[in-house]
Amino acid sequence: MPLLSNPQAAQVSLEYFPPRDIAAQERLVRSAKRLAALNPSYVSVTFGAGGSTRTGTVDTVQMLNNLGCDVAPHLSCIGASRDDLHAILNDYRSRGIRRLVALRGDLPSGMGGDTGDLHYASELVQFVRQHHGDAFHIEVAAYPEMHPQAESATRDLQHFVDKVQAGADSAITQYFFNPDAYFAFVDQARAKGVSIPITPGIMPITNYTQLARFSSMCGAEIPRWIRLRLQDFGDDKASIRAFGIDVITDLCARLLQNGAPGLHFYTLNHADAVVQICDNLGVPA
């Protein structure tokens, strides 16, 4: 029994990261082919996250493009010169790329010094619009639970508004497990005049240790009741997975039932959990 009254209307997009070796690449190809059945509106490819290289992003974009996906590379400005950014953007245009996820990014820890020519994502959005007009649909990041380095929630919201005013077309949120955080953020953004779609980023729960590590880095809160249940499961992967699928299915259903424009899944290059969640929701595959 589908959880949504109109599951066909749910827009799904997917995030992948550049694989590090041949085996990981083969896994990504298998996942991307399986997830293509969900008819994603686009797939995105991370840039520089977890130590991956720029070439890794470009190669993965090309590979997914060859599989027929509409691909949106992530582009971060931190540590890059204007010339670097010109070269990357021109390259993407020559490959037929028409969508970007524009980010500030993070310098690898311990690397102080050269933060590049642009300092915030809003400047990158402005740069892309100035030099490439409307050639790219620009996604930006949003933080319902506040960016971990923000001076305050109010300033963080204003900086999000700055990105929209610089020309962003839509936004993807950092993941969260409390739907109220998302709806409160959307309400506050609307009150500031933001009308672009703000799509919730969804992190399937499949591995507690990994989730706890990601969450402490990005500031996403794992609610106490979820954390305690996951801790109780210990090494019982099947129970973690079954519980995680239930929690995330329920989160997605509440988001879509209450007006979220779609779901952007952080796949971590795995298909199973996303397929199962979409199946539970009744999203056609």
Binding site for ligand FAD (CB under 6 A): 46-49, 74, 76, 101, 103-106, 120-122, 141, 147, 149-150, 155-156, 159, 163, 172, 174, 201
| Contact indicator for 64, 37 with CB cutoff of 8 Å | no
**Residue indicated by tokens 């319902």:** 144
139 part of the active site: no
Residue 197: which H helix or E strand, with range? none
- From the list 80, 82, 60, the residue with the least C-alpha distance to 72 is 60
Buried residues in 161-179 as b, exposed as e (16+ CB within 10 A): bbbbebbbbbbbbbbbbbb
Q: For the CA atoms of the chain, what is the radius of gyration? A: 18
DSSP state of 174: E
Quote the least distance from Cβ 229 to ligand FAD, whole Å.
Answer: 25
What is the rounded distance in angstroms from the CA atom of residue 146 to the CA atom of residue 153? 6
Q: Which segments of the chain does DSSP mark as H helices, in order? A: 22-35, 54-66, 82-94, 121-132, 153-165, 179-191, 208-218, 224-233, 237-257, 272-281
| Backbone phi, psi, residue 73, to 5° | -70, 145
| Cβ neighbours around 208 below 10 Å, total | 22
Residues shown for the chain = 285
What is the rounded distance in angstroms from the CA atom of residue 143 to the CA atom of residue 208? 22
With 0-12 / 13-18 / 19 or more C-beta atoms within 10 angstroms meaning exposed / middle / buried, residue 21 is exposed
Beta pairing partners, 72: 44
Q: Return the active site residues.
A: 15
